[in-house]
């Protein structure tokens, strides 16, 4: 499995300079990404600040250890989105809807529920209020690997992220 994952991310950017160049290209030419390209489970691999400084190895190590992931699934004209972290049998998950807008495009999303589970026991399952239109979170999509093994985006807060598609969701 490790060999498969390594082969899928061989072309993934490793520093922010490359990501920033890809971002400029995406702004000028768009990415050509569609909802079907995004289907799958994306594990967070690296983050950078708004300016392109790499996150501390402690914080990214913690997020990787918590198996931070973004799950996207095409549903009709839109998409289902989930953001999840897990530690052993404990899982915190936010679920909602998403859609692509614009040429770059932007993945606009909102979460409508949060769930905390321990094993199969649900401890919390709550609805969340919809954000005001101007406060809706998004990811400006920057680039995807040639073999659809990685995805880069800039979040509403300005940070950059690189996700790696889990092997069972590879193209």
- The domains of the chain are located at 14-169
Give the pLDDT of the chain (171 residues) as one tens digit per residue: 344 444 445 678 888 889 999 999 999 999 999 999 999 999 999 999 988 888 888 999 999 999 999 999 999 889 999 999 999 999 999 999 999 999 899 999 999 999 999 999 999 999 999 988 888 999 999 999 978 899 999 999 999 999 999 976 444
Number of helices and strands in the chain (H, E)? 4, 9
Paired residues of 100 in beta bridges = 107
Joined together, the tokens standing for residue 19 give 């990501």
Q: Both tokens of residue 11?
A: 């072309």
Right CATH number for 14-169 from 2.40.420.20, 3.30.70.260, 2.40.128.280, 3.90.78.10? 2.40.128.280
The pLDDT of residue 138: 95
pTM across the whole model: 0.86
Please give the Cα distance from 72 to 83 (Å, whole number): 9
Shortest CA distance to 147 belongs to which of 1, 4, 2?
4
Residue 77 tokens read as 């004209």
Q: In sequence order, what are the beta bridge partners of 127?
A: 113
Query: Tokens 């101007």 appear where?
Result: 134
pLDDT tens for 17-57 read 899 999 999 999 999 999 999 999 999 999 999 888 888 88
């Amino acid at each position: 499995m490790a060999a498969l994952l390594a082969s899928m991310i061989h072309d993934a950017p490793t520093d922010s300079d490359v990501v920033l160049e890809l971002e400029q290209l995406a702004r000028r030419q768009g990415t050509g990404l569609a909802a079907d390209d995004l289907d799958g489970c994306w594990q967070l691999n690296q983050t950078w600040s708004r300016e392109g400084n790499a996150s501390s190895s402690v914080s990214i190590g913690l997020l990787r250890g918590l198996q931070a992931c973004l799950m996207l699934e095409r549903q009709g004209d839109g998409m289902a989105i989930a953001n999840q972290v897990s530690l052993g049998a404990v899982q915190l998950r936010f679920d909602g809807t998403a859609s692509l807008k614009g040429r770059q495009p932007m993945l606009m999303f909102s979460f409508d529920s949060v769930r905390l589970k321990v094993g199969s026991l649900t401890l919390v399952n709550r609805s969340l209020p919809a954000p005001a239109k101007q406060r809706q979170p998004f990811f400006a999509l920057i680039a995807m690997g040639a073999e659809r093994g990685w995805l880069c985006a800039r979040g509403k807060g300005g940070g950059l992220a690189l996700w790696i598609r889990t092997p069972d969701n590879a193209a």
